[in-house]
Chains A and B, each alone.
Chain A
């Protein structure tokens, strides 16, 4: 098991190196920051001084070398825009996104597992059709539309909740709700499908012949077997969210990693882009390893030797 984790870490490290090269050069394809940060009529010597101060006068490969040299010391450089260490900005925004994603994912999973399992108990029954319809609608609604409408209804119309910004618990309700709907709808469909096939399996028939109680058959025998496809899809959705729920964070003015990255790209704030990509990538690599370990934990036939 520890050998497996080491192997996966090594694989992730190789992917990470590729990613670092890619993000460095792609960011620089957006243009020269000097044009953005200085007035249009700034004299040539001021421009030269700005470029020199930030190392933009160096050849690209030399810049890359400096970047790598600093990176191994965990120095991601300073934000051009906010003149603070880039990594501080990222690490400040990231937990907000993580909590947002974590809460939304947890709610989505719990609701989907319960609704999907109940629906699967009686395929094509009334409850099943109802769950299916809601799930399909949830999985199909675009985030931005749902976000805007919920602001309109709950913040502007009913005045129950704040429109945007940060503060107490009430500021979290709308973003979490909007973020939950899509994965929840998607997962409910996956849970339903996986549970229907698990419930029609031979081992469930055996359990019925043994006189096992219905509740135990559904939630002990079938659900554990159905968990594999469920966590595959849940993991996929979660990595999407760790990337930053860009749309939701922008609409609700939520200070997460998604909004930080959007702004940094607009301002060609290379250091922050690089730090942001590397930190989120590390988190996603970690999440994938955790999911693989969860597979082995759920299904003894899967061995990570």
Chain B
């Protein structure tokens, strides 16, 4: 028997791809680490299965095994079968696996800038899928161009010979998708395909994947940590935790009647499920802590001896807002909206080209040194904590600069207090950042920000790189610290549900301009500006809850 493409149809009631009792472990210096244990799932043509899990859950391991991408050693497959149309790929020769990769089973990766070869033109890279499976160069190029047009790459013909770094993240993901669907695979695996993208771009890419699946009838395996993507895309879902599948079923079943406690905790952790935060009515007439008026930042062009000047870029265009005492102001916007420039200007990392920002009436922009009352927590705790400094050194470092805050003999004691306040323990002070998980590192960063007893903490995408359940914990921590110390937050995020559950008021930024501001309830229930509506409509979870 054969299907319409002349490919053999598996015997009996076999699935397109079936993983049976797969166990994989990794042999490292620290000993044997099990990656997945006894994992089983299956997928058929035309079907979408989501494997949902947080980082370290082993959600990518079985698909890597399917494509022969697990390096052995250090990896070792201890048991199980990986069947493609009844053929166990774990027993396939390297050449057989190569034939299947890219033609029958294809994969789209997360970090497209790293996943595309930086030194070859994108057209060449897409055509390579054809060439590797026996298509002649000239017709491979023609077909590649056709594909790039199909996936909606603007100006595909003119940009055929451009390089990956010359495209935006969304465009690069389209290129990756073109590369993967080139030979009409039976199964497309998408491993966190939109994690690095803005919400509106994410919505378009997910739409493209859905269209292509419908058009070609392929199976689609989505590997993700994002419940919203599962809700919006998948027919069935397998939820992984600690290397095991803890629950599996149709998306509706799992979302409505979760059986496993882990699934329930995941669903509970979705921000914004518990309504809007209560906004304390602001005491009338009280002077705001932070007042920003018509703040502008223009990046002037630089010209060299042999270089022409480029047009200046207006990153911030007359931005005005206030932040009251004890208030949480959310700033949302996509990459390039100017939200990070705003923060950098406020803390003195960039010089404003116009406007004014005052803290308690004093100018922030003309101050000789940045005020210690405004502290920052950055997005990537791995990069923002010095790997060679112990937690003790990291947290006490500000006191070496501002000597009057804590006398040196009390440093150890005070660092311990701060660690306890952020939910760690005193013993953690002697350790180094790499010994902590992402969420714990962000707690350390928060402790460092608290060290100088600030009134305002600026969180620049502070929870963006964290898993959902960890995100919920860090947000809860920020909330309790706010109540305890009367802190105000400037909370910058591209993740709308998080902002919805945490902020009192929201600013929406687009291309350097504040297009809309209001209370969180106003913005999320009655957006006025078209861009705000697009932003809200693009978020799969908000979209789903609005539809429900």
Q: Which residues of A come within 8 Å of B, CB atoms? A: 3-4, 6-7, 201-203, 205-214, 216, 221, 224-225, 298-301, 305
Q: Quick check: A201 and B306 within 8 Å, CB to CB?
A: no
Does B116 sit at the interface, judged by CB under 8 A? yes
Across the two chains, which residue of chain B brings its CB closest to A5?
B306
Q: Quick check: A210 and B119 within 8 Å, CB to CB?
A: no
A210 to B176, CA, bound (A): 10
Does B106 sit at the interface, judged by CB under 8 A? yes
Q: Quick check: B102 and A300 within 8 Å, CB to CB?
A: no
Residues in A neighbouring B101, C-beta threshold 8 A: 208-211
Give min CB distance, A125 to chain B, whole Å: 11
Does B111 sit at the interface, judged by CB under 8 A? yes
Q: Quick check: A203 and B114 within 8 Å, CB to CB?
A: yes
Q: Quick check: B132 and A211 within 8 Å, CB to CB?
A: yes
Residues in B neighbouring A208, C-beta threshold 8 A: 67-69, 101
Q: Quick check: B306 and A209 within 8 Å, CB to CB?
A: no
Give min CB distance, A206 to chain B, whole Å: 5
Does B128 sit at the interface, judged by CB under 8 A? yes
Residues in B neighbouring A203, C-beta threshold 8 A: 114-118
Does B100 sit at the interface, judged by CB under 8 A? yes
Q: Quick check: A206 and B132 within 8 Å, CB to CB?
A: no
Q: Quick check: A209 and B114 within 8 Å, CB to CB?
A: no
A201-B114, A206-B109 known; A211 and B119 CB under 8 Å? no
Query: Told that A6-B306, A203-B114, A206-B107 touch, could you supply 5 new A-B pairs with CB distance under 8 A?
Result: A202-B109, A206-B117, A208-B101, A214-B98, A216-B132
Chain B interface, number of residues (Cβ within 8 angstroms): 33
Give min CB distance, A205 to chain B, whole Å: 6
A-B contacts, 28 listed (Cβ < 8 Å): A3-B306, A3-B307, A7-B305, A202-B111, A202-B114, A203-B114, A206-B109, A206-B179, A207-B117, A209-B101, A209-B106, A209-B109, A210-B106, A210-B129, A210-B132, A211-B101, A211-B102, A211-B129, A212-B132, A213-B132, A214-B98, A221-B117, A221-B120, A224-B120, A225-B117, A225-B118, A301-B163, A301-B165
A206 to B117, CA, bound (A): 9
Residues in B neighbouring A301, C-beta threshold 8 A: 118-119, 163, 165
A301 to B176, CA, bound (A): 19
A301 to B129, CA, bound (A): 23
Across the two chains, which residue of chain B brings its CB closest to A228?
B119
Q: Quick check: A213 and B98 within 8 Å, CB to CB?
A: yes
- Residues of B407-424 contacting chain A, CB below 8 A: none
Residues in A neighbouring B128, C-beta threshold 8 A: 207, 210, 212
A203-B116, A206-B116, A212-B132 known; A300 and B163 CB under 8 Å? yes
Give min CB distance, A214 to chain B, whole Å: 8
Interface string of B380-411 (1 = CB under 8 A from A): 00000000000000000000000000000000
Query: Which of A224, A300, A305 contacts B307 (CB under 8 A)?
Result: A305
Does B99 sit at the interface, judged by CB under 8 A? yes
Q: Quick check: A299 and B132 within 8 Å, CB to CB?
A: no
Residues in B neighbouring A213, C-beta threshold 8 A: 98, 132
Query: Which of B68, B69, B103, B119 contacts A298 (CB under 8 A)?
Result: B119
Q: Quick check: A211 and B133 within 8 Å, CB to CB?
A: yes
Across the two chains, which residue of chain A brings its CB closest to B166?
A300
Residues in B neighbouring A202, C-beta threshold 8 A: 109, 111, 114-115
Q: Quick check: A205 and B69 within 8 Å, CB to CB?
A: yes
Residues in B neighbouring A299, C-beta threshold 8 A: 118-119
A300 to B163, CA, bound (A): 7
Residues in A neighbouring B102, C-beta threshold 8 A: 209-212
Interface string of B130-156 (1 = CB under 8 A from A): 001100000000000000000000000
A212 to B98, CA, bound (A): 7
Residues in A neighbouring B98, C-beta threshold 8 A: 211-214
Residues in A neighbouring B100, C-beta threshold 8 A: 211
Interface string of B63-100 (1 = CB under 8 A from A): 00001110000000000000000000000001000111
A300 to B161, CA, bound (A): 11
